Amino acid sequence: MSTSSISPLIDRLTVIGVGLIGGSVASALKARGLVGHVVGCARSAQTLDLAMERGLIDSGTTHVGEAASNADVVLLATPVGTMRNLLPQVGEALQTGAVVTDAGSTKQRVVDIARDVLADRFEYFVPGHPVAGSESSGPAAARSDLFVDHWTVLTPTAETNSASIQKVTQLWEQIGSKIKIMKADTHDRVLGMTSHLPHIVAYALVSQLAQQVDQDDCLALAAGGFFDITRVAGSDPVMWRDICLDNKEVTVELINTYQTILDQIKKSVTETDGESLEGLFKAAKLLRNRLETIKIESKH
């Protein structure tokens, strides 16, 4: 079926933050003929120029209010630390009935900010988080297939109106995502374990490598395991700074638990306790195998 035979899901979409996530949403909707006009908003005119050159947006501005006005849907795809500044500007410019959503990696703080600053527009805010990405960033990294077969978590509140939830659900489903509805605090606990802590561990491992006296030899001989576990340390440091601080309580709790497990391993090694060390490794291997099975089954 040609894209011309498909009615646009969104007549006018504003994407604030046209990097990997925002640019990929725009690219995916355009590729499927699901959007009429995409307005991009970024701090840098150069970023907007690149997004325009790549066909991600149809027009661009560095002014948030100008970008949000006349939009049917506004997507905030910026680091979560920017929400306190951006949401009031978006709220002031919204036309009646316009839907607002975000793609931030933490949800409870974003919900709290939105409830505070959007006032009577809060019912049109649908918090979201596409659990997909890449260590690359910027408009050049955008891909129209980024979200295919990946989860997008939505965390609407009791105040969120059903039409807005339906619109945002359709947006993500139409570009390939699977939808999971969660409470915001549940999202932050689950993603804290499955995403935030692994990024912290990756950054910590690379930081430890930087302190090695034989760093050059380590770099030269780093094998697949080190590359695999530290791949996400190539992600945007500003974004991950904001995620850790926004989800501070959960982050600290998870780091403490992780340190306890490392101390357990350290004790087994120190005491030459091979039995307990092997037992921990076996249990971890079984759960990892189960995770692999779940991932394979989810693709069918």
- The helix (run of H) or strand (run of E) holding residue 125 is strand 125-126
Q: Is the residue at 296 inside a domain?
A: no
Q: Is the residue at 176 inside a domain?
A: yes
Instruction: Compute the chain's Rg from CA coordinates.
Output: 21
Q: Is the residue at 87 inside a domain?
A: yes
Integer Cα distance of 89 and 87 in angstroms:
5
Integer Cα distance of 59 and 49 in angstroms:
9
Dihedral of alpha carbons 84, 250, 148, 45, sign = positive
Half-sphere exposure of 194 (CA within 13 A, CB side): 12
Provide the CA 181 distance to its chain's centre, in angstroms: 15
- CATH number reported for the structural domain that contains residue 66 in this entry: 3.40.50.720
pLDDT of residue 27: 95
Domain count, the chain: 1
Dihedral of alpha carbons 49, 50, 54, 56, sign = negative
* Angle, CA of 255, 260 and 262, to the nearest 5°: 90
The highest-confidence range among 75-89, 125-139, 209-223, by mean pLDDT, is 75-89
Q: Is the residue at 283 inside a domain?
A: no
57-65: long-range pairs with CB below 8 Å, 24+: 57/15, 57/18, 57/26, 60/18, 64/16, 64/89, 64/90, 64/93, 65/89, 65/90, 65/92, 65/93
Q: Is the residue at 81 inside a domain?
A: yes
Closest CA to 14 of 84, 82, 88, 65: 65
pLDDT of residue 1: 40
Percent of the chain, pLDDT > 90?
79
Residues 19-48 pLDDT 10s: 899 999 999 999 999 999 999 999 999 999
Q: Is the residue at 247 inside a domain?
A: no
Residue 4, pLDDT above cutoff 50: no
Q: Is the residue at 51 inside a domain?
A: yes
Residues 232-269 pLDDT 10s: 998 889 889 999 999 999 999 999 999 999 999 999 99
The b-or-e profile of 258-290 (16+ CB within 10 A means b, else e) is: eeeeeeeeeebeeeeeeeebeeeeeeeeeeeee
Integer Cα distance of 125 and 62 in angstroms:
22
Residue 93, pLDDT above cutoff 70: yes
Mean pLDDT, the chain, as a whole number?
92
Query: Directed axis angle between helix 83-93 and helix 108-118, to 10°?
Result: 40
Residues 111-151 pLDDT 10s: 999 999 999 999 999 999 999 877 667 888 889 999 999 99
Residue 49 structural domain: 8-182
Integer Cα distance of 28 and 239 in angstroms:
22
- Please identify which residue in the block is written with the tokens 């995770």: 291
Q: Is the residue at 132 inside a domain?
A: yes
Residue 298, pLDDT above cutoff 80: no
Mean pLDDT of 176-198: 96
138: left (phi > 0), else alpha (psi -120 to 50), else beta? left
